[in-house]
């Protein structure tokens, strides 16, 4: 028997349970409208918040950089792949975030692994929100942390209780005689529900109990704080120990970033294994990040348009009778519950010219399936109304509203 056969059979089981997700192929730029299988569709499920993925200014900057530097770094950065573009992009991101220094990595997932697994080990302690991103969960696993506490989502009373327990555990020194690090880690914006971490209280409690604070701002960059992120949103710039982000959402390209105190960033450069053993960010991505920061710094108009579109969409969904959950951001979940219902809802939307993929287990808990609608600054009111009409038709047809 083929030892891999059970994995093949899993696919059939996933299809039966409505958990299998076919991957659509885009034949056009990533924008407010896309082409799939030759059909033009309203794009309601992209993370391209500000339209940067197809922004001509950013494309021009990337092309100009490629003509000068070529396409790739050609090596890991500590050997010979550390381009002037990388350093310029890091300087620009640090300034945008109000941090002493920033550190570019090949992706946001990798950034979380570096941020966590480089500074905590088996004998340290991690306290994590129960709805944190998969990359945070995997980073904690990779660090092999034996003592980890999960607190109920955004529950600050439980966080304090876990901190109290952590402090008691930390009284026992590690085998090398040093004191265990206590790391409190949270998403900034929770990507499936769209709500925001209670960051001021998290920072206050962490300081009270001598813990290190870390926030993953993947869905806050370009969105919150006039585009500068969650630290600026809460006036906490410079007060967070570790700020992680990604270039794959509002910046429209690829890459991860860690920002913080200069000494910490330098430690990550010297010790972060995924950085030491991964080729540096591509020329196009690095140039795009620099141009994206310039655009965000010069004008807030795209950020304002994003929020205007989000507010309109949420209000109209609620008028129709849809449940949009607890969102506080442009992430707009249309809560459906059943996995197969979400799958069918998405298919009927596609037939009406709306591309909105179902979000279901394991991306969210079983029974919490939804269509996560993602408006962008590129959508017009006419676009949003087109989508709303399709949602209304499908919602009535399937008895959701």
Catalytic sites, residue numbers: 191, 219, 249
Torsion, Cα 138 144 145 151, to 10 degrees, reads 30
- Does residue 219 contact residue 249 with C-beta atoms inside 8 Å? yes
Q: Which residue has the tokens 């969102």?
A: 327
SS3 142: helix
**Residue pair 121/276 in contact by the 8 Å Cβ criterion:** no
The residue written with tokens 């007060």 in the block is 239
> Which 3-state string (H, E, C) describes 233-298?
HCCCCCCCCEEEEECCCCCCCCCEEEEECHHHHHHHHHHCHHHHCCECCCHHHHHHHHHHHHHHHH
Query: Residue 335, Cβ neighbours under 10 Å: how many?
Result: 18
C-beta of residue 210 within 8 angstroms of C-beta of residue 184: no
Q: CA dist 225 to 50, 300, 333, Å?
A: 14, 10, 22
Rounded Cα distance, 339 and 76, in Å: 42
Q: H or E stretch including 382?
A: helix 381-397
Cα–Cα distance list, 146 to 149, 236, 392 (Å): 10, 31, 49
First to last CA, the chain: 49
Helix (H) or strand (E) holding 79: none
Q: Is 81 exposed, middle or buried (0-12, 13-18, 19+ CB in 10 A)?
A: middle
Helix (H, G, I), strand (E, B) or coil at 150: strand
DSSP string, 292-320: HHHHHHH--HHHHHHHHHHHHHHHHHHHH
Q: State how far the Cα of 50 lies from the Cα of 219, in Å rounded to an integer.
A: 12
Cα(239)–Cα(257) distance, integer angstroms: 17
């Amino acid at each position: 028997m083929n030892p891999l056969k059970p994995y093949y059979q899993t696919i059939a089981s996933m299809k039966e349970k409505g958990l299998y997700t076919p991957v659509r192929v885009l034949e056009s730029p990533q924008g407010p409208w896309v082409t799939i299988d030759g059909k033009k569709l309203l794009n309601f499920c992209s993370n391209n918040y500000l339209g940067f993925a197809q922004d001509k200014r950013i494309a021009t900057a990337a092309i100009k950089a490629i003509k000068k530097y070529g396409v790739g770094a050609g090596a890991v950065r500590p050997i010979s792949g550390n381009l002037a573009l990388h350093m310029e992009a890091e300087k620009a991101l640090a300034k945008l975030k109000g941090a002493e220094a920033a550190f570019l990595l090949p992706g946001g997932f990798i950034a979380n692994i570096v941020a966590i697994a480089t500074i905590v080990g088996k004998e340290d302690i991690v306290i994590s929100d129960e709805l944190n991103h998969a990359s945070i969960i995997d980073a904690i696993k990779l660090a092999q942390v034996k003592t980890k506490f999960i607190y109920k989502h955004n529950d600050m009373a439980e966080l304090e209780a876990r901190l109290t327990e952590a402090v008691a555990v930390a009284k026992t020194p590690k085998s090398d005689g040093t004191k265990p690090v206590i790391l409190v880690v949270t998403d900034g914006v929770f990507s499936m529900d769209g709500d925001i971490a209670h960051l001021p209280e998290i920072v206050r409690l962490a300081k009270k109990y001598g813990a290190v604070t870390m926030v993953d701002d993947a869905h806050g960059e370009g969105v919150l704080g006039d585009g500068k992120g969650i630290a600026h949103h809460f006036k906490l710039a410079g007060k967070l120990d570790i700020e992680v982000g990604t270039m794959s959402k509002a910046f429209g390209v690829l890459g991860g970033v860690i920002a913080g105190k200069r000494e910490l960033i330098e430690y990550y450069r010297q010790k972060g294994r995924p950085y030491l053993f991964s080729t540096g960010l591509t020329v196009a991505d690095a140039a795009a990040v620099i141009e994206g920061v310039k655009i965000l710094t010069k004008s807030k108009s795209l950020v304002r348009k994003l929020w205007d579109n989000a507010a309109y969409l949420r209000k109209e969904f609620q008028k129709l009778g849809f449940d949009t959950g607890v969102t506080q951001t442009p992430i707009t979940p249309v809560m459906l519950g059943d996995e197969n219902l979400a799958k069918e809802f998405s298919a009927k939307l596609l037939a009406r010219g709306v591309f909105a993929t179902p979000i279901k287990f394991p991306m969210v808990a079983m029974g919490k399936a939804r269509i996560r609608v993602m408006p962008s600054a590129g959508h017009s009111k006419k676009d949003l109304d087109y989508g709303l009409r399709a949602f209304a038709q499908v919602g009535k047809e399937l008895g959701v509203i």
